Amino acid sequence: MRLRFIVGVLVAAALGGAFAPALRGQAQASVWDGVYTDEQAGRGGTIYGQSCASCHGDRLQGKHPTPALAGSGFKGNWNGETVDDLFEKIQTSMPADKPGQLSRQQNADVLAFILKFNEFPTGKEDLPVEAGKLKQIRFDAERPGK
């Protein structure tokens, strides 16, 4: 009986530890883990050219007062946030002249393009559009462990 109780406690602790980051709302992956595909970034580049470049520039350099979407300043601004934070900023305020005009899929594609332009690695699956999944991805300006 006592052994069964101890085993039960150990199993519960192990499972709780495995799910603890998700239960606390902490991101479990990083933009350095390959969270988008080349194909998705390609689609996003097309959309970016049509809907974003006039304000943010062809090279994502920004145009005063519009901020850059590439480089150390951009990465520093989002460091430690989740990809969902950036996604929601895009979803609710861009394009500036028609916020919310683009679909969630189009915004995910544009965000994939921004990640690729900032030299974050590609992966095997498209960046998701669901907030719950995006909240599980950290935006780390530098590769973890570096």
Encode pLDDT of 55-103 as tens digits: 999 999 999 899 999 999 999 999 999 999 999 999 999 999 999 999 9
**Residue 30: φ, ψ to 5°:** -130, 155
What is the spatial distance between Cα 121 and Cα 109, in angstroms, rounded to a whole number? 15
**pLDDT computed for residue 146 by the predictor:** 67
- State the burial class of residue 1 (Cβ atoms within 10 Å of its Cβ: 0-12, 13-18, 19+): exposed
**pLDDT tens sequence across 36-51:** 999 999 999 999 999 9
Q: How many CB atoms lie within 10 A of CB 24?
A: 7
The reported pTM is 0.82
pLDDT tens column, 3-46? 454 444 444 444 444 443 443 455 599 999 999 999 999 999 99
C-alpha angle 75-79-80 in degrees, rounded to nearest 5: 165
